[in-house]
Structure 1
């Protein structure tokens, strides 16, 4: 599975501590969101903005989910279009990451539901950077 990474998982040493096998496919850009600093970086709604990162390929998605705290709700894993496929993106709950600025995901419901709704309603995508 390909995953757009934009924080600690852009460091090969960190990735090698989390998964047993991986490769960085290419540099990439996530359009429609922006990076927000906090305890760990996360993303925020931002039409017209982008975040630079990398496409990470690994079969060990369970280890990435554990690292990102999916079960505890620290991050959610979402699917975002990229060329002719979809890639995974981890979005952290700003209310749990002590972010440096206020972040509001619009709408009602759970954090995960608001992220999914935003992605469905806006042109968020990942582009490979040659």
Structure 2
């Protein structure tokens, strides 16, 4: 499975602590959302986020690391541009802005940070795509 990573999982040493079966694919960019930092990073609408593609079969280990069961992060599917890799969608984690203590004045959050449900839906539905970089 391919996962777009943009935070601590871009560090090979960190990934090696978590996973046995993994490799990095190409660098990639997420279009349609930008990284915002709090306790851990998450995404906000608009812009771009640099990252890389992580190949692994150990998605359950990543879910545990990202706190999916506790609601800290949610794994979502985002499209990959047709000419990038095999064109298959990639997985990606988005974090709950409230739980991560995110403050980003540049984010388009007129009523405050969205709920995790709203942010996950935005990233999945708003044409966010992951093209790989050569």
TM-score normalized by structure 2? 0.85
Q: Does 1:126 align with 2:130?
A: yes
SS at match of 1:52: strand
Q: 1:74-112: CA deviations, max 9, x gaps?
A: 000000011321000100001001123266498xx9522
Question: What is residue 93 of structure 1 aligned with on the other side?
Answer: 96
What's the TM-score, normalizing by structure 1?
Answer: 0.88
Secondary structure of 1:35's counterpart equals strand
1:32-47 map, 5 Å: 32-46=32-46
- Aligned length in residues: 125
- Could you report, residue by residue, the CA deviation over 1:15-38 in whole angstroms, capped at 9, with x for unpaired residues? 011111100011000000000011
CA contact (8 A) 1:28 1:52 kept: yes
Flag structure 1 segments of 5+ consecutive residues without an equivalent. Answer: none
Tell me the distance in 2 between the aligned counterparts of 1:81 and 1:72.
26
RMSD: 2.0
* Structure-2 change in CA distance of 1:35 and 1:20 (3 Å): same
Question: Is the 8 Å Cα contact of residues 97 and 115 (structure 2) preserved in structure 1?
Answer: no
2:15 aligns to what SS in structure 1? helix
Q: Aligned partners of 2:127 and 2:119: how far apart in 1?
A: 13
- Cα deviation for residue 118 of structure 1 reads 1.7
Counterpart position of 1:80: 78
